[in-house]
């Protein structure tokens, strides 16, 4: 289409103050002005903010217009409608694409004022999309590749819940818009491979194939044939002109019919419409500048002032926004027609509410342990807990990154999720820690599922970016991480976490649990499940530990993060021994050694720093106590412990990497023993 034609179409649409509310553009001209509205808002908002990324929204505007105006099932009046299609903007730097769409489509809170306040404090339009902050944003994106990983989890969640509740209630598609950067990140390989293997046919990736990243053309660093790459992973993949609405629509239609996940490589021009900067890295991540914007307006035939969308064009967009309402109302009717039991269960799961069966299951396990104590590894304790918990809470979906037998994350009754049957509740993620964690975030975000996983604690480093995002988004995702210290023994220093506990505790909001025995393990599981606004890590031992908590106590003693496990033999403890996990038993032994020296000591188990440090000052101080000497024992580094034991406290732990040997020898060699803990206390008295 030539420029004058564009201008004429734009003008006639703009003049029609009561534009016929057709559901989707009926001509190329209508499409073009709708797409140009996105482009104009993006370049003007970035210009006003003096920062941001105009290139992606301008380049992907045609793809987004076709998707949102013709295909995506959503309702701005109910952004959380459970059966909506999910749209994940994996390339979160292109956030203005989402914000422009939300405004144009009529999401009530996304006013033009919010668009004008792009990237300003308190606005609904932060630099990168933030879930829970802006209605309609399905997941927090920005770290490239994560959104794609989340989308795989969302697509798994959809298939699983559809298998349980039927296609009348659960039948939606997950769409992703991703960029070159998303596909260069390693996590994308894990996500793509898993989705292809599971044949997630309701996952459609639109790849903004513009060949440009920050440094310049992607050819500087990349020569992957993405279509071939996706095909080899079991996807349907195709290549189209991403500025041709008919081609985009045809490709999406075909993708919707695919029996496997589909990728559409949409060849686009970054910063489409900007005559000098378009097609170059100059359009990627900085304002285009007044001159270039004026020239782009000319080129696009867009003659309206910044932040002004003529009524006719806005009406066309708003009509597109209304498109999904009948579908939502129809779904609500179908939901209401379900039998009461199914409907209540579906609603409970979607709300993320725990059933009353959880408390009963925990009580039952604790009573059995009181009657017949167990000296087992906390990873085995976790399996024992899961056998009960997964029955009480069938919305739990477990998994492991190829360490199922080591992580003990598969409860007896669980069957695996397979392409031929998604009703299972266990996922063999393969050796893909990062993809696993990102997929779990997606499942939690989707709703209706409580995901948990398994890997070795040392490999938390392999999925840390996704753990961080789970915390940032406040999602209930549970990371079981076994082999939590030199106590794993012979596998040696490559597998022995030393700094990982401290590193995980450094992530705001993340609850890092390190239970001391089988009773604490079930209590920590209960707390992790109850933590519906934050993720948890359960750091568990490979080696056996004694059951320190004897007798039945209905209270969850781990709730305060730390508690006095063994009181001083008299009223005046001069030593407080703090420990976590497998080292609590060592602290108990140290207390005995000190008693032999007539030194009165108490033992405080510290299963969760975050919970302890969140207590009101007086309560925390009461647990920490006022002994003359504080000693902490943990087979990790000291970092973080000073908040509990003070900088003058003694620390018995690791200061180097571990070594390969039977674990008891390692505890001796690295001095993590009752003897050393007692000596450390005595030296300070």
Tokens of 245: 């609405």
When the beta carbons of 91 and 313 are compared against ligand TPP, the nearer one is: 91
Q: Tell which positions 185-224 bind ligand TPP, by CB under 6 A.
A: 185, 208, 210, 212-214
* Nearest distance in Å: CB 57, ligand TPP: 9
Question: Residue 271 is encoded by which pair of tokens?
Answer: 């910063």
Residue 65 makes CB contacts below 8 A (sequence gap 6+) with: 25, 31, 34, 35, 38, 245
Which of 213/630 has CB closer to ligand TPP?
Answer: 213
Least distance in Å: CB of 271 to ligand TPP?
9
Q: What is the DSSP letter of 354?
A: P
| CB of 1 or CB of 224, closer to ligand TPP | 224
Q: In whole angstroms, how close is the CB of 183 to ligand TPP at the nearest point?
A: 8
Count the Cβ atoms, other than its own, within 10 Å of residue 334. Answer: 13
- Expressed in angstroms, the distance from the first to the final Cα of the chain is 86
Q: How far is the CB of 91 from ligand TPP (least distance, A)?
A: 5
| Residues contacting ligand TPP: total by CB under 6 A | 20
Please give the DSSP secondary-structure letter assigned to residue 220: G
x/- mask, ligand TPP, residues 25-54, rule CB under 6 A, reads ----------------------------x-
> Binding ligand TPP by CB under 6 A: which of 39, 93, 282, 446?
93
- The two structure tokens encoding residue 350: 């979607």
CB of 215 to ligand TPP, least distance (A): 8
Q: Is 98 helix (H, G, I), strand (E, B) or coil?
A: helix
CA distances from 10 to 23, 246, 295 (A): 18, 19, 17
Is residue 180 a contact residue for ligand TPP (CB under 6 A)?
yes
Residue among 37, 41, 56, 481 that touches ligand TPP (CB under 6 A): 56
- Using CB under 6 A, which of the segments 179-187, 192-200, 227-235, 237-245 binds ligand TPP? 179-187
Residue 147 or 245: which CB sits closer to ligand TPP? 147
Within residues 109-168, the interface with ligand TPP by CB under 6 A covers 142-144
Closest distance of CB 638 from ligand TPP, Å: 30
Length of the chain: 685
How far apart are the C-alpha atoms of 649 and 666, rounded to whole Å?
24
H-only helix segments in 199-324: 226-232, 245-256, 290-300, 311-322
Query: Which residues ranging from 262 to 301 are in contact with ligand TPP (CB under 6 A)?
Result: 270, 284
User: How many C-beta atoms surround the C-beta of residue 400 within 10 A?
Assistant: 25
Number of residue whose CB is nearest ligand TPP: 181
Distance CA 487, CA 497 (A): 10
- Minimal distance in Å, beta carbon 92 to ligand TPP? 7
State the nearest-atom distance from the C-beta of 144 to ligand TPP, in Å: 4
- Of 140 and 210, nearer to ligand TPP (C-beta) is 210
Point out which span in 176-184, 484-492, 521-529, 584-592 binds ligand TPP (CB under 6 A). 176-184
- Whose Cβ is closer to ligand TPP: residue 212's or residue 249's? 212
Q: Looking at beta carbons only, is 138 or 185 nearer to ligand TPP?
A: 185
**Closer to ligand TPP by Cβ: residue 143 or 442:** 143
Active site residue ranges: 433
x/- string (CB under 6 A) for ligand TPP, residues 485-524? ----------------------------------------
Between CA 404 and CA 398 the distance in angstroms is 10
Let me know: does 191 contact 439? Beta carbons within 8 Å. Answer: yes
Q: Is 263 helix (H, G, I), strand (E, B) or coil?
A: strand
**Is residue 630 involved in binding ligand TPP (CB under 6 A)?**
no
Strands (E), 491-621: 511-513, 536-539, 544-545, 563-566, 575-579, 601-605
Q: How is the beta sheet containing 511-513 ordered, strand by strand?
A: 426-428, 396-400, 450-456, 478-482, 536-539, 511-513
How far CA 639 is from CA of 107, 583, 604, in Å, comes to 46, 16, 18
DSSP of 647-669: TTSEEES-SS---SS-HHHHHHH
Question: Quick one: CA dihedral 336, 340, 345, 347, positive or negative?
Answer: positive
Binding interface with ligand TPP (CB under 6 A): 53, 55-56, 91, 93-94, 142-144, 179-181, 185, 208, 210, 212-214, 270, 284
């Amino acid at each position: 289409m030539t420029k004058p034609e564009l201008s004429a179409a734009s003008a006639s649409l703009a003049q029609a103050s009561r534009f016929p509310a057709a559901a989707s553009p009926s001509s190329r001209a209508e499409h073009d002005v709708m797409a140009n509205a996105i482009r104009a808002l993006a370049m003007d908002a970035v210009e006003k903010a003096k920062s941001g990324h105009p290139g992606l929204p301008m380049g992907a505007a045609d793809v987004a217009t076709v998707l949102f105006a013709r295909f995506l099932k959503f309702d701005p009046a109910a952004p959380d409608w459970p059966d909506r299609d999910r749209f994940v903007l994996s390339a979160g730097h292109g956030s203005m694409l989402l914000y422009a769409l939300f405004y144009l489509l009529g999401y009530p809170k996304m006013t033009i004022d919010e668009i004008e306040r792009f990237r300003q404090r308190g606005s609904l339009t932060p630099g990168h999309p933030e879930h829970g902050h802006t209605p309609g944003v399905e997941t927090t994106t920005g770290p490239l590749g994560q959104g794609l990983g989340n989308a795989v989890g969302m697509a798994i969640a959809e298939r699983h819940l559809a298998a349980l509740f039927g296609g009348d209630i659960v039948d939606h598609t997950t769409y992703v818009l991703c960029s070159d950067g998303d596909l260069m990140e390693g996590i994308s390989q894990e996500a793509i491979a898993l989705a292809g293997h599971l044949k997630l046919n309701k996952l459609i990736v639109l790849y903004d194939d513009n060949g440009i990243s920050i440094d310049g053309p992607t050819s500087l660093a990349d020569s992957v044939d993405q279509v071939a790459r996706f095909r080899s992973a079991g996807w349907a993949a195709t290549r189209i002109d991403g500025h041709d609405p008919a081609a985009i629509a045809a490709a999406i239609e075909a993708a919707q019919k695919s029996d496997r996940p589909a990728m559409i490589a949409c060849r686009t021009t970054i910063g489409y419409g900007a005559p000098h900067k378009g097609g170059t890295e100059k359009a990627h991540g900085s304002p285009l500048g007044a001159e270039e914007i004026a020239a782009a307006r000319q080129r696009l035939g867009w003659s309206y002032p910044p932040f002004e969308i003529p009524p006719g064009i806005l009406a066309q967009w708003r009509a597109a926004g209304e498109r999904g309402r009948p579908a939502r109302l129809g779904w609500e009717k179908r939901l209401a027609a379900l039998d009461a039991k199914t409907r209540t269960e579906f609603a409970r799961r979607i709300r993320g509410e725990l059933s009353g069966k959880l408390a009963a299951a925990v009580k039952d396990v604790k009573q059995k342990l009181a009657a017949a104590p167990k000296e087992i590894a906390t990873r085995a304790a976790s399996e024992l807990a899961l056998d009960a918990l997964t029955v009480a809470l069938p919305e739990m979906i477990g998994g492991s990154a190829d360490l199922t037998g080591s992580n003990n994350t598969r409860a007896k009754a669980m069957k695996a999720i397979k392409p031929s049957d998604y009703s299972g509740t266990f996922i063999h993620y393969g050796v893909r820690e990062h993809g696993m964690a990102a997929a779990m975030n997606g499942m939690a975000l989707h709703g209706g599922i409580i995901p948990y996983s398994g890997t070795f604690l040392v490999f938390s480093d392999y999925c840390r970016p996704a753990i961080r995002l789970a915390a940032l988004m406040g999602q209930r995702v549970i990371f079981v991480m076994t082999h939590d210290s030199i106590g794993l023994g012979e596998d040696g220093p490559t597998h022995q976490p030393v700094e990982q506990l401290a590193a995980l505790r450094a992530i705001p909001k993340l609850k890092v649990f390190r239970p001391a025995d089988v009773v604490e393990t079930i209590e920590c599981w209960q707390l992790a499940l109850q933590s519906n606004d934050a993720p948890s890590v359960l750091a568990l031992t490979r080696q056996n530990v004694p059951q320190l908590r004897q007798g039945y106590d209905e209270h969850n003693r781990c709730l305060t993060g730390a508690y006095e496990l063994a009181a001083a033999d008299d009223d005046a403890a001069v030593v407080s021994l703090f420990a976590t996990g497998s080292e609590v038993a060592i602290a108990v032994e140290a207390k005995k050694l000190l008693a032999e020296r007539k030194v009165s000591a108490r033992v405080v188990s510290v299963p969760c720093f975050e919970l302890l440090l969140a207590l009101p000052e007086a309560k925390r101080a009461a647990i920490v106590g006022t002994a003359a000497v504080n000693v902490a024992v943990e087979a990790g580094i000291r970092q973080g412990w000073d908040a509990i034991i003070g900088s003058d406290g003694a620390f018995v732990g690791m200061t180097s990497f571990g070594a390969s040997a039977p674990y008891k020898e390692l505890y001796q060699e690295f001095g993590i023993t009752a003897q050393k803990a007692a000596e450390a206390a005595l030296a300070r008295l």
